Every structure is written in C-alpha cells, then in structure tokens.
Amino acid sequence: MSGQPAVFDGEPGHALKRFWESGPSGWNRTLTRPVVLVPFFVGAAIVPLILQYLEDNSSWIGAQYWTLILATCAMYACLAVALNLVVGYAGLLNLGFIAFFGIGSYAYALVASDQIHLHFPLWAALLVVIVVTLAFALLVGVPALRLRGDYLAIVTLAFGLIMTNLILDLDRPPVLAGHQFGPDGLNITNGTNGLHNVAPFSLPTSLPLLGDIPHYRMYYWVFLGFLALSIFCMLRWRNTRTGRAWVAIREDELAARAMGVNIFKYRLLAFCTSAVMAGIVGMIDAALVFNAYPENFAVQQTVQVFVMAILGGLGSLPGAIIGSIAFTIPPYVLQQFVFYKYLIISVVLIAVMVFRPEGLLGTVSLRPRKALGGTIELLTAESAEEVAEMPAVSGADAAEIEAVTGEIVTPEQKA
C-alpha cells in the first residue's frame, strides 16, 4: 500500500494497528482522504488494461467478460452511492429508488432509438434524462415528503409498482372507459420486450496512447468517472450547510426543525438529487447494453442495491463501493450458486441488520437504543457506561470528525 495517509507516522505496523483501532468512523475518514481515493480510482481504471495485457500474453481469454463485470460493479457502486445520499445522508427510505434508474434508461432509450424516431445528441439526451427523472422525482417527492416517515416508504413502493405497470402496458394506446387515447399504432415502451437498438454515446473508439478502446472498457470508464464525480460531490457536500442539515434531520428531526432547518426543502433536495443520479446511471446502462428493459424496474433490484449500501454501511461512501463489489463479483465467480443468489442476498441482509445494523463502515447507528430503565439508578448507570465508552477526542479532533464524516461524535440520547 503506497498511499499511506499523512496522519500515520512511525512504523507501518503501528500505523495499521492505529487504523484498525480507529473504528468505523476512523476507517471511513481515512478511506475518503484524497490520498486513498485518487490511487484507488487510478488503479481501478488501469485494471482492464492489465486484463487486456494478460489476454494478449497468455492463453487466458476473458478480458472483455471481466471488463463487463467490472462495469456492472461500477454501475452498482454508482447506484449504492446515490442510494446512500437519500437513505444514509437524509434518512429517507425510498423503496422506489430503482424506478428512477428505469426512468432514466427509458428516457434515454426513447430519444436515442428508432422507437419514436428521435436521435438526440449526447448533451441533449442527458438534458432530457435529467429533466424527466427530476420531473418524476418532484411528482412523487413533493407530496410524499410531507408525510410521516413510514408512509414515504409506502408511497415510493407504490410509485415503483405504478411505473412497472405503465412500462408494461404502454405498448398499446391507453383505453379509459371505452375511449382510446392516441392513434392505433401507438407503442411507447414496447411492453415486456423493452426497447432495443438504443444508440450508444458518440464516444471516441480510440484514444492517443491507449489505442483502440472496446465498447465495454469505455463504459467501464464512464461509470468509474461518474462514480468518482458522485463521490467527490458527496464528500464536498458533507461539509456544507446542506450536508449538515441532512445529518441533523436524520439524527433528530425535531431538534433540526427547532434549529430552523427547513426539513421539507432539504429532504426534497436529497430525494431529487439521488433520483437524478440514478437516472443518469440508468442512461449510461441503456447505452452500455443497447437496451432498456422492464426488469430495470424490478423490486429485487432495489433490494440488491439496498443490500450493497447496508452491508458497506449507510452513510459511508467507501462502504458503498465495498458493498457493490461484494455483491457483484461473487455471483459471476460462483456460477453454480446463481440459482440461490437472492436467497443468499436476503439472508445477508437480515443478518447484517440483526447483528451489525450499521454495516461494515457505517456511521449511521441503527442499533437498538437501550430502553430507558424504570429507576433513576439504572438510568445513571447506563449514562455512566455510555460516557466511559466514548472515545477520548480533543475538541478540534471531534469537530474534524463531525465535519468530515458527518458523524455526531457524542452518543445519541433519544428517548
């Protein structure tokens, strides 16, 4: 590991020990430093070149296959980061999340295929995707975010189902109470078949120094670039008024409101930003596979992205990447178990929630709060225990931890 963070001086063994002992928030802090992230992304970008080199110089074939897997992995990482924004940062359970991915891919497919004979240039298509996903996000978000927490989950779930129905049924003109809307041959979504022959982005097929770039490798880099951009924005955002407002709302809505935080505004912002991010990922995916499928809306996909974000730890960006790697690569390696894929995913999801609800690197504590004891004695004993468990941090250090990770350093004490 060449890029050791500057905070670790002294012998490497000692630094590793200190890293290990710094706990999830410390790991998170270290792993989101530029000195770790930049080499990580450069290394990840080089991997397909190494695969190509291996294929050229040995009897092994599969560089293209593995590059596609890497692209899938990067795609899920983008989705997990976007989900982290809405669930991890803002604490909103959006169960219709994957619908925005589907909306993005269909929006792009419609303006870049023969379905309705539109062929927009990339920038215009991107604009269309952003506007369409934003419109849907506002349509759901504006009414739903005014409701109590649980109801948001219901409304977004219902929204996802409505979108699935619409995609499946809009291959023919809608007929309402005997009146047909639109001409006879109207076919917007092509039903269960999905949209085919979607044009890829007009990207260069070869670059100076790198030579020819195969389709999959290019899109792997596109996903990786989008991932890097998302993570950069999220890390910068954490430190601003907006990021602090999100964390405040998630930790204690009432207190945040009392501090004058406009809860509705910040929730809507998180909801819409995450939706647009998912929409753009959907657009890149449609260009990568030349198709937009109704399966893009499948609820199982939502659960899969949730598992990735939760295993890595809600609120943690490196966790989202680790989670997406952990759930993308193994199904390809362990082909014989692919039948059991969702069974395994569901067991992992339950086990993580029960045994380590904050995930591997999470900073959002979903742990059961200790119920308040019936007597004063119990109460003080517990408080004393909590104080004793608090890490000894200096004031400046605590402020930095809060600013960088968004973690509230003092233990949460809600009734």
Partner 1 sequence: MGYFLQQLVNGLELGSLYALVALGYTLIYGILELLNFAHGDVFMVGAFLAAGAAAALVHNEIAAIPGGFVVVLMLLVAMGGAGVLGVAIERVAYRPLRNANRLAPLITAIGVSLFLENAVFVWVSPAPVLVPTNALVSQGVIQAGSVATPLTGLVLFAGALALMIALDLFVFRTRFGSAMRATAQDREAATFMGIDVDRVIMVTFFIASALAGLGGVLFGLRYASVDFFMGYGLGIKAFTAAVIGGIGNIRGAMVGGLLLGVLESLSGGFISTQFQDTFVFLALIAVLLLRPQGLLGQPVTDRA
By CB under 8 A, name the binding residues for partner 1: 87, 91, 93, 95, 143-144, 147-151, 153-155, 157-159, 161-162, 165-166, 169, 172, 174-177, 252-254, 257, 299-300, 303, 306-307, 310, 339-340, 342-343, 345-347, 349-350, 353-354, 357, 364-371
Please say which residue, 57 or 335, places its beta carbon nearer to partner 1. Answer: 335
Please say which residue, 171 or 400, places its beta carbon nearer to partner 1. Answer: 171
Report the nearest approach of partner 1 to the CB of residue 311 (Å): 11
Please say which residue, 88 or 194, places its beta carbon nearer to partner 1. Answer: 88
Report the nearest approach of partner 1 to the CB of residue 359 (Å): 11
Q: Do residues 136 and 275 make contact, with C-beta atoms less than 8 angstroms apart?
A: yes
Report the nearest approach of partner 1 to the CB of residue 227 (Å): 24
Tell me the sheet residues that pair with 119: 112
Q: At what angle do helices 317-333 and 215-238 cross, to 10 degrees?
A: 150
Report the nearest approach of partner 1 to the CB of residue 115 (Å): 20
Report the nearest approach of partner 1 to the CB of residue 161 (Å): 6
Please say which residue, 121 or 143, places its beta carbon nearer to partner 1. Answer: 143
Report the nearest approach of partner 1 to the CB of residue 31 (Å): 23
Report the nearest approach of partner 1 to the CB of residue 105 (Å): 21
Report the nearest approach of partner 1 to the CB of residue 253 (Å): 4
Please say which residue, 53 or 342, places its beta carbon nearer to partner 1. Answer: 342
CA distances from 390 to 44, 397, 407 (A): 37, 14, 13
Please say which residue, 144 or 277, places its beta carbon nearer to partner 1. Answer: 144
| Residue 119 main-chain phi, psi, to 5 deg | -135, 85
Rounded Cα gap, residues 284 and 75, in angstroms:
9
Please say which residue, 149 or 411, places its beta carbon nearer to partner 1. Answer: 149
Please say which residue, 343 or 393, places its beta carbon nearer to partner 1. Answer: 343
Rounded Cα gap, residues 274 and 87, in angstroms:
9
Please say which residue, 38 or 338, places its beta carbon nearer to partner 1. Answer: 338
Report the nearest approach of partner 1 to the CB of residue 92 (Å): 9
Burial profile 157-180: b = 16 or more Cβ within 10 angstroms, e = fewer: bebbeebbeebeebeeeeeeeeee
